[in-house]
Amino acid sequence: MSPSRSAGLDPRNVIRRPIVTEKSMRGTTINKYTFEIDGASTKPVIRDAVQRLFSVRVTKVNVIRIPGRARRRGQHHYREAGYRKAIVTLADGDKIDLEKLT
């Protein structure tokens, strides 16, 4: 999907939630923010959604697929669902206040 076609999408369907861990919070010092995203979203759609939701300028988007973990409950084995996350780099001077979001 191109950014022009993503204009009709709700950005909240693309960006599910911010990921707030010690490692992801270290990235905020260099303007890198981590979000859990929809599995079918492309980088231009993610860029557009972050820019529209937070009124910031995005310079780079990296996408990572996290596989589900193998679990066991008694003698039953199953696999948890995986997810995708995006690490979004913002332009100098732009910030997102994650404390207000969670």
Give the pLDDT confidence of 72-99 residue by residue, as tens digits.
999 999 999 999 999 999 999 999 987 7
97 in a structural domain: no
Give the pLDDT confidence of 24-47 residue by residue, as tens digits.
999 999 999 999 999 999 999 999
The CATH code of the domain that includes 41 is: 3.30.70.330
Query: For residue 94, how many other CB atoms are within 10 A of its CB?
Result: 16
In terms of residue numbers, what domain contains 10? Answer: 5-92
34 dihedral zone (left: phi>0; alpha: psi -120 to 50; beta): beta
99 in a structural domain: no
pTM, 2 dp: 0.84
